[in-house]
Structure 1
Amino acid sequence: MTADHFFRRGLRPLLVFLFFFSLTSFSKSDELQPLLEFKSALQKSNPNVFSSWTPGNSTCSFSGIVCNSNGFVTEINLPQQNLSGVLPFDSICKLQVLEKLSLGFNFLHGGISEDLKNCTSLQQLDLGMNSFSGEVPDLSSLGKLKLLSLNTSGFSGQFPWRSLENLTSLTFLSLGDIVFEESPFPVEVLKLEKLYWLYLSNCSLGGRIPEGLGNLTLLENLELSCNQFSGEIPGDIVKLKNLWQLELFNNFLTGTLPVGFGNLTSLVNFDASGNSLQGNISEMRLLKNIASLQLYDNQFTGEIPEELGEFNKLVSFSIFGNKFTGPLPQKLGSGANFVFIDASDNFLTGPIPPDMCKNGKMTYLLLIQNGFTGGIPENYANCSSLRRLRVSNNSLSGLVPAGIWRLSNLSAIDLAMNNFEGTVPKTWAMGSSLLMIALSENQFQGQLPRSMANCTMLKYLDIGNFSSRLSVLQLQSNNFHGTIPKTWAKGSNLRMIDLSENQFQVEGSRCPF
């Protein structure tokens, strides 16, 4: 081999090395200017965020910046930094290996320029919870995206749904709470088989929810609430066995729950309220991991599955405004830190389950307008966490447990339109937060306790002190007696008063009413 040949063989790789070294050095130094332009666009909103963004520092030491092992910027992480301004995507997308742009929960505004298409290395784009305007530009070139979060970002117009055909790597898609132009469910979503998170609530979608969602078998969260969807819940949704949250509330859905709905045994939160669903909920007996079950404002019928009483994770249960019959499971809440129940406006009967406040966590007990019988279980006299106790318009009877009158956290006590009897204790220890007292149409008797004069926050009263906020006083159809001071009505905002069918006397008068 000649020396000349040897020299040429050795020189070639050296030249290649020098070329790439020169290119690399140039590219790294060239990243400073785009970042300084980014800083210039947003600095006035929060200069403290950019205090480290100076030419004297390495770009990799800038706050919120992450670099790879070669020193190139791969991430801009500045969520919740009170940033305001218009994003300079013409500068941002000069960062050739930028993989993550996280700017959620700020006050960014203005439009998103077409320059976004040049950010072809992006894998995560989070611009949610901002105040942008205009339309979302075409996203087709961002084929590496795994996470796209734009919820509550202020955009409008038509979303480029067709772009999603190229974003087949998406695992997380959040486009909710944006006033887009009305459109049907985007069928492009059905091809995103890697999705585990899909949030399309309140983004102007309508028509039917299509079959095909069942093919997105990795889904753990599916939120389609507050749209204009109609028709039935698609049957193949029962294939999504990894779902822990399913939210369909405030649509126009009809029909019954799909056959096999009980297969969704991973469900923790299910909310289908505010629709026109019907039929029974017998398959709910299999959802042992459910913690929050919201079915209110529908047309469900039949009985509540007894198995719900065995669920030791169920803490929130709302079924008001349906047509349920039969009893509530008597073990309901006994094995869980039960917090909330609203079974009002149904046709339920039987006794109130005794142990819903067994663990001392329950705040709301709402059973208005049913056919419950028996009394208020003694256990609730010790439920110090209780804030609202409303059981009016039932067939309850007997004495109210004495401890009920001593629950200091109550903001509402509503026992009206039942058959309760006995007296209201003179030592009723009502808390200062009490806003509502309703005892009308029972068999109470005796004098009103003077302690009611301390309830200065009352807004609705059918036994108590007139306050400047009071607008309604209803005490009719009881056996109360005693004297009502004339000063009670002084300065009040009463619009309605009914003291009929009692034995009251107004101060200075001999005439009972």
Structure 2
Amino acid sequence: MGIGKLALFLLYAFLCQLVFSSSLPHLCPNDQALALLQFNNTFTINLDASSSGYYPKRVKWNRSTDCCSWDGVKCDETTGQVIELDLSSSQLLGSHISPKFGELSSLTHLDLSYSSFTGIIPAEISRLSKLHVLSIESDSYDLRFVPHNLELLLKNLTQLRELDFEGVNISSTIPLNFSSYLTNLHLRDTHLYGTLPEGVLHLSNLEALDLASNPQLTVRFPTTKWNSSASLMRLYLSGVNATGRIPESFGHLTSLRILVLFSCNLSGSIPKPLWNLTNIEKLDLDDNHLEGPISDFFRFGKISWLSLRNNNFNGQLEFLSFNKSWTQLEMLDFSSNSLTGPIPSNVSGLQNLQSLLLSSNHLNGTIPSWIFSLPLLGELDLSDNHFSGNIQEFKSKTLHRVSLKQNQLEGPIPKSLLNQRDLYILRLSHNNLSGQISSTICDLKTLEVLDLGSNNLEGAIPICLGEMSELWVLDVSNNSLSGTINTNFSIGNHLMVIKFDRNKLEGKVPQSLINCKSLEVLDLGNNELNDTFPKWLRALPNLKILRLRSNKFFGPIKDSSTYKFAQIRIIDLSSNGFSGDLPLRLFEYFEAMKIISESSGTREYVADMNYVYYTNSFIVTTKGLDLELPRVLTTNIIIDLSRNRFEGNIPSIIGDLVGLRTLNLSHNRLEGHIPASLHQLSVLESLDLSSNKISGEIPQQLASLTSLEVLNLSHNHLVGCIPRGKQFDTFENSSYLGNDGLCGLPLSKDCGGDEGVPQATTPYGLDQEEEEGDSSIISWQAVFMGYGCGLVIGLSIIYIMLSTQYPAWFSRMDVQLEHKILTRMKKHKKRH
């Protein structure tokens, strides 16, 4: 047989074998099929999840078919053994990872990620000694290891190439016995602690290392060349403790493509060897303490993502004008640094830029035209700088976030901003913008935040704003808007914040606000609204801040059993024309004010929506000052009903509102006494009852208010001795002015007693006890002589009156005076 015929025969034999082998059934081993079916019967499938990218792969598993044909199962074509099992994103409800998986001894790939597994990862997984890939990521944090099981697993799985336990609660230190073949190690957000063994950073085949979001994990970088330097391409260490400087050893990682080190507590300047990493495509050093000039970053010629937010970098952006190699740059974030000067105007080569974020620096000048000409720009944030000039028309049709707030920009709102299909954030507040708000703004169907406050806008509020179905924040405060609020708030809207304050709005409060069921903040203050109290707002279940101050509201706030306002934290009705008694029923339903928030270490804010780049700044009047708070704590509980025409008594039920920090009822026509129940307001910081007609004494119990910083009881009809001790020893005369009947410190009028003990208010002190001891200078004999003389004189006067026929009323008065004198003499005899 010739060589050619032999080759042809061998090729024929090979093809026959290939056809024959491919026609054979896999014949999945019974024990493996049974193990999978037993596992299959332990849980149910969330069929609704399939519409959101999840696919329940084991829905068609059954005994009548070969397990090698099941979704997510792959078998060896020769032996029929199951070698790969992929149940990722299958939404398996109520299931634990079965120990039966340990019987699939030929497995090389096992992926159980994002399938709602819970409980303990079984130790039997460590029997799968042939595994190359093991992925058990979790987004519910319900999976965990028992102590030492991770160490056992790593000890036995010596063939591993990829290991991913993201979101699994490991809660241990990191063992060192990793497979030498390991190329990908992902242990993000796994509650690791202790110090990372340096050997992990020296794994010779390591290509990707992700240990991010483990704040209790300490990472010390090698100071010399890394063994993995030739292979390491992706390094994610954000949120670990890597305190100190970036070492020069990073310069050896010449294959590095992605370096993410944000929130690692790093400091110092960027080491020069880092500029050798010419293959860097993504660099994220956010939220550290790094410093130095910004200019050298142009050396990363292949970079597409550069983020240095919230550091101490300085200098100017001139390097942008001579860098022509950043054609692939998509994201540039230098926000919250110390950059100065203007943005250069002669910049080119950034045509692929999608995000430009330079907020919170010291940049100035006009915004150059090349920024408005970027064709793919989706995100622009230049807020909190010193830019001036007009906002030009945008070329991009893909804008989704624009924030230019807190600058000195002028002119109208560009029309191109109102024609964006995907815009969801528009923040132009705190500028000098002028003109009217065009109704075409309502065409922004995806808009979630509209913040135009603190400008010079005029005209009417567009009626259609309340019909924007996706809007969460509507802030047009502090402008020159006029007319009535004709906005029609549609049913089903998502509005959480409405701020129309500090304008020139007239008329009534629109009743369509009743449709804003998600509303937390309603500020209509400082306008010219003329209406009665909109008690129907009680139907808003989430309302936390209601501010109607400085308008022309009038009439009584009538008691009603239908008042709710259960979530109210701040209610400010000051400087209006409200009258009648204080609304007792209203106070009864302030449920959120009846709780003192415990200090949990975390601060909670009202309508705080950082996820849509909006924080709810708010003006509150507390401690006698108007303060603009950048965010409002849920513990800022305030009632301000001052400068109205309220009458009657102060209800004692206010004492039940134990969470109150500020209570201001000043400049009304309130009468009666100060309720002693106010001593229950243990966290009260400011109390202002001034300029009313309140009488009686200051309750001694108020001395227990140790948080009280500001007290104003001036210009009332209070009498008696001012309480002493604790906070009351810190208040000055101004707290009590205009109360002629008050005495005691800090006033110059002495009450005549020791240590602020309240004294009787009977004139001349006829019923006061004398001080005891040898220091007394008045003898009781002299006292009795005085009373005796007085009695003789009194009887003489009576005789003269009777003999001269004085009027009967005068006679009765003298008899009463005689009776009082005799009674006091008897009292003194009994005491002494």
| TM-score normalised by length of structure 1 | 0.75
Q: 2 CA distance for matches of 1:287 and 1:333?
A: 25
Residue aligning to 1:44: 42
Q: 2 CA distance for matches of 1:90 and 1:450?
A: 65
Q: 2 CA distance for matches of 1:65 and 1:470?
A: 51
Greater Cα offset, 255-264 or 191-200: 255-264
Which of 132, 136, 139 is 1:123 aligned to? 132
Q: Do 1:312 and 1:333's aligned partners in 2 also have CA atoms closer than 8 Å?
A: no
Which of 88, 93, 99 is 2:99 aligned to? 88
Which of 312, 325, 350 is 1:311 aligned to? 350
Q: Pick closer, same or farther for the CA change 1:399–1:267 going to 2, 3 Å.
A: farther
Q: Do 1:157 and 1:179's aligned partners in 2 also have CA atoms closer than 8 Å?
A: yes
Q: Do 1:363 and 1:386's aligned partners in 2 also have CA atoms closer than 8 Å?
A: yes
Q: Do 1:405 and 1:425's aligned partners in 2 also have CA atoms closer than 8 Å?
A: no
Residue aligning to 1:225: 238
Q: Does 1:349 align with 2:378?
A: no
Q: Do 1:351 and 1:375's aligned partners in 2 also have CA atoms closer than 8 Å?
A: no
Q: Secondary structure at the match of 1:335?
A: coil
Shift of 1:326: 3.5
Shift of 1:44: 1.9
Q: Does 1:495 align with 2:527?
A: no
Shift of 1:360: 1.7
Residue aligning to 1:192: 203
Q: 1 CA distance for matches of 2:476 and 2:173?
A: 54
Q: Percent identity, aligned pairs only?
A: 22
Q: Does 1:175 align with 2:187?
A: yes
Q: Secondary structure at the match of 2:242?
A: strand
Which of 386, 402, 421 is 2:423 aligned to? 386
Q: 2 CA distance for matches of 1:458 and 1:50?
A: 41
Q: 1 CA distance for matches of 2:483 and 2:101?
A: 77
Q: Do 1:299 and 1:323's aligned partners in 2 also have CA atoms closer than 8 Å?
A: no
Q: Pick closer, same or farther for the CA change 1:312–1:173 going to 2, 3 Å.
A: farther
Matched ranges for 1:104-253 at <5 A: 104-112=113-121, 114-129=123-138, 131-135=143-147, 136-138=150-152, 139-160=154-175, 162-164=176-178, 167-180=179-192, 182-203=193-214, 204-211=216-223, 215-237=228-250, 240=253, 243-253=256-266
Q: 2 CA distance for matches of 1:142 and 1:168?
A: 11
Shift of 1:239: 5.2
Q: Do 1:201 and 1:223's aligned partners in 2 also have CA atoms closer than 8 Å?
A: yes
Q: 1:173 is aligned with what amino acid?
A: L
Q: 1:316 is aligned with what amino acid?
A: S
Q: 1:168 is aligned with what amino acid?
A: S
Q: Pick closer, same or farther for the CA change 1:491–1:109 going to 2, 3 Å.
A: closer
Q: Do 2:233 and 2:257's aligned partners in 1 also have CA atoms closer than 8 Å?
A: yes
Deviations 1:312-357 (A, max 9, x none): 333234454x544345664236334222233444x443447646x5
Matched ranges for 1:336-375 at <5 A: 336-345=375-384, 347-351=385-389, 354=392, 357-370=394-407, 372=409
Q: Secondary structure at the match of 2:181?
A: coil
Shift of 1:30: 10
Q: 2 CA distance for matches of 1:294 and 1:448?
A: 46
Q: 2:373 is aligned with what amino acid?
A: S
Q: 2 CA distance for matches of 1:215 and 1:351?
A: 52
Residue aligning to 1:471: 521
Residue aligning to 1:397: 433
Shift of 1:390: 1.4
Question: Structure 2, unaligned stretches of length 5 or more?
Answer: 1-25, 46-56, 322-331, 333-346, 502-508, 556-575, 578-642, 644-832
Q: Do 1:260 and 1:283's aligned partners in 2 also have CA atoms closer than 8 Å?
A: no
Which of 472, 483, 500 is 1:435 aligned to? 472
Matched ranges for 1:6-21 at <5 A: none
Greater Cα offset, 301-310 or 383-392: 301-310
Q: 2:470 is aligned with what amino acid?
A: S
Residue aligning to 1:21: none
Residue aligning to 1:11: none
Residue aligning to 2:794: none
Greater Cα offset, 38-47 or 220-229: 38-47
Which of 275, 280, 283 is 2:288 aligned to? 275
Q: 1:301 is aligned with what amino acid?
A: N
Question: Structure 1, unaligned stretches of length 5 or more?
Answer: 1-27
Shift of 1:174: 0.9
Matched ranges for 1:23-62 at <5 A: 32-46=30-44, 49=58, 52=61, 54=63, 60-62=68-70
Shift of 1:45: 1.4
Q: Secondary structure at the match of 1:252?
A: coil
Deviations 1:162-197 (A, max 9, x none): 112xx22222211111112x1223312222233332
Q: Do 2:181 and 2:205's aligned partners in 1 also have CA atoms closer than 8 Å?
A: yes
Q: 1:133 is aligned with what amino acid?
A: F
Q: Do 2:58 and 2:70's aligned partners in 1 also have CA atoms closer than 8 Å?
A: no
Q: 2 CA distance for matches of 1:293 and 1:352?
A: 28
Q: Do 2:121 and 2:143's aligned partners in 1 also have CA atoms closer than 8 Å?
A: no
Q: Do 1:42 and 1:85's aligned partners in 2 also have CA atoms closer than 8 Å?
A: no
Q: Do 2:160 and 2:181's aligned partners in 1 also have CA atoms closer than 8 Å?
A: yes
Q: Do 1:42 and 1:86's aligned partners in 2 also have CA atoms closer than 8 Å?
A: no
The structure that has the greater radius of gyration is 2
Q: Pick closer, same or farther for the CA change 1:361–1:153 going to 2, 3 Å.
A: same
Q: 2 CA distance for matches of 1:214 and 1:401?
A: 62
Q: 1 CA distance for matches of 2:460 and 2:254?
A: 53
Shift of 1:147: 1.0
Q: 1 CA distance for matches of 2:302 and 2:553?
A: 57
Greater RCO, 1 or 2 (C-alpha within 8 Å, sep 6+): 1
Q: Does 1:446 align with 2:482?
A: yes
Q: Do 1:332 and 1:353's aligned partners in 2 also have CA atoms closer than 8 Å?
A: no
Matched ranges for 1:61-76 at <5 A: 61-71=69-79, 72-76=81-85
Q: 2:177 is aligned with what amino acid?
A: S
Shift of 1:148: 0.9
Residue aligning to 2:459: 423
Shift of 1:223: 1.6
Q: Pick closer, same or farther for the CA change 1:236–1:423 going to 2, 3 Å.
A: farther
Residue aligning to 1:408: 444
Deviations 1:103-144 (A, max 9, x none): 222233444455544433221111222723324133134332
Q: Pick closer, same or farther for the CA change 1:155–1:40 going to 2, 3 Å.
A: farther
Deviations 1:470-508 (A, max 9, x none): 5241565xxx76x544465641547353665xxx75589
Q: Do 2:166 and 2:190's aligned partners in 1 also have CA atoms closer than 8 Å?
A: yes
Deviations 1:338-396 (A, max 9, x none): 22233444x443447646x53222222123334556664443233343222113234x3
Q: In the comparison of the two structures, how many residue pairs are matched?
A: 465
Q: Do 2:388 and 2:407's aligned partners in 1 also have CA atoms closer than 8 Å?
A: no
Q: 1:325 is aligned with what amino acid?
A: L
Deviations 1:27-60 (A, max 9, x none): x999542552354245321598286564x76554
Q: 1:150 is aligned with what amino acid?
A: F
Q: 2 CA distance for matches of 1:247 and 1:67?
A: 38
Q: Pick closer, same or farther for the CA change 1:266–1:311 going to 2, 3 Å.
A: farther
Shift of 1:63: 4.5
Greater Cα offset, 421-430 or 190-199: 421-430
Q: Do 2:391 and 2:409's aligned partners in 1 also have CA atoms closer than 8 Å?
A: no
Q: 1 CA distance for matches of 2:465 and 2:180?
A: 63
Q: Do 1:428 and 1:449's aligned partners in 2 also have CA atoms closer than 8 Å?
A: no
Q: 2 CA distance for matches of 1:291 and 1:424?
A: 44
Q: Pick closer, same or farther for the CA change 1:106–1:460 going to 2, 3 Å.
A: closer
